[in-house]
Amino acid sequence: MTADVSGPRWSLTLYVSGASPRSAEAIATVRKICDEDLEGRADLDVVNAIEHPQRVIGDRIIALPTLVKRAPEPPRQLVGDLTDPDRVRLGLDLGPAPAPDRTTAEGGERP
């Protein structure tokens, strides 16, 4: 089965600082959102600022981690704590994650 790739193509760049725990958590959060919310429609480029300082300077990144959404419009930058999936989704204009279906989780009717 092929993933549904309809909709706009997303271009995201995540700037992180090496292999710090905060960077690893930011990468995991953004990748999860790309996999779940933007399945088949996201191009994610992870840039390690330690390995590519000139790119960070050229792209005018002033804090790490920073997630840059270049497409679809409008462009956006999310700076700081990128470990909260709901905060990242809202920053990308995706809205909060859908609530789990309680009928399957609990095996009964919704209250």
CATH code of the domain containing 21: 3.40.30.10
65 found inside a domain: yes
Predicted TM-score of the model (pTM) = 0.81
- pLDDT average, residue stretch 93-103: 71
4 found inside a domain: no
- pLDDT average, residue stretch 3-15: 84
The whole domain housing 61 covers 10-97
80 found inside a domain: yes
Burial of residue 92 (CB within 10 Å: 0-12, 13-18, 19+) is: buried
105: Cβ–Cβ under 8 A, 6 or more apart, which residues?
none
Strand partners, 43: 11
- pLDDT average, residue stretch 72-94: 93
Q: How far is CA 82 from CA 57, 97, 108, in A?
A: 21, 15, 35
53 found inside a domain: yes
State the total domains in the chain. Answer: 1
